[in-house]
Amino acid sequence: MRKSNWIIAAILVLASVLFLWVWHALQFDLVDNPLDIIVTVVWWLVIAGACVAIHLAEKKRQERIRTIFVAPGLIYNSETGMVRLGPDTPLVDALAQVLESLTYGFDMAELPSNSRVRFQRIVRSSKFDEAGNTWEGEVVEVARPDRPIPFRDRAELAAIVAGRAA
């Protein structure tokens, strides 16, 4: 999780502790009312739900940032921007290098306004870790967006982008 998400979770926990202290200081805990325990349990469930929601939203945002658009001789990522590839640069290595350099910030790189790039593939990485040793996702051919091709590792991705997988 990002630092800001941990800060939000910490604020929620501190607010809970403060509310619990106020509840005790005002001697509401002496009242024999079963609603008190229900309110406490519901509050903690809300905090746990908020933390889970923050984590899932951040995970989904990072997956969107890991999406890379591929055109002949270049790749585009929303954080990195356009990256020109040398004629001898293996595409999978370039993709891995872009994914390794991601910081998952909130700034987005823009496409050049005068560019007429026609992307051929979209590589969506649901998991990327250990410099590409753990790499899962799918490749979508722009000409056939209804048929994504899943991959479970670097070798499968290399076979797909080389045109050896259907």
Task: Identify whether the C-beta of residue 161 lies closer than 8 Å to the C-beta of residue 121.
Answer: yes
For the ranges 57-61, 93-97, 111-115, 144-148, the lowest mean pLDDT is seen at 111-115
Percent of the chain with pLDDT over 70: 89
Whether residue 164 has pLDDT greater than 80? no
Q: How confident is the model at residue 2 (pLDDT cuts 50, 70, 90)?
A: low
121: phi then psi, degrees, rounded to nearest 5:
-140, 155
pLDDT tens digits, 116-152:
778 899 999 998 887 767 899 999 998 888 999 999 9
Task: Identify whether the C-beta of residue 134 lies closer than 8 Å to the C-beta of residue 127.
Answer: yes
Q: How confident is the model at residue 4 (pLDDT cuts 50, 70, 90)?
A: confident
Res 67: pLDDT:
93
Whether residue 166 has pLDDT greater than 70? no
Tokens of 22: 């106020």
Whether residue 162 has pLDDT greater than 90? no
140: phi then psi, degrees, rounded to nearest 5:
-115, 120
Sheet containing 121-129, strands listed edge to edge, beginning at the edge strand earlier in sequence? 81-84, 74-77, 68-71, 121-129, 134-141, 144-151
pLDDT tens digits, 21-51:
887 788 776 666 677 777 778 888 888 888 8
pTM: predicted TM-score of the whole model, two decimal places: 0.72
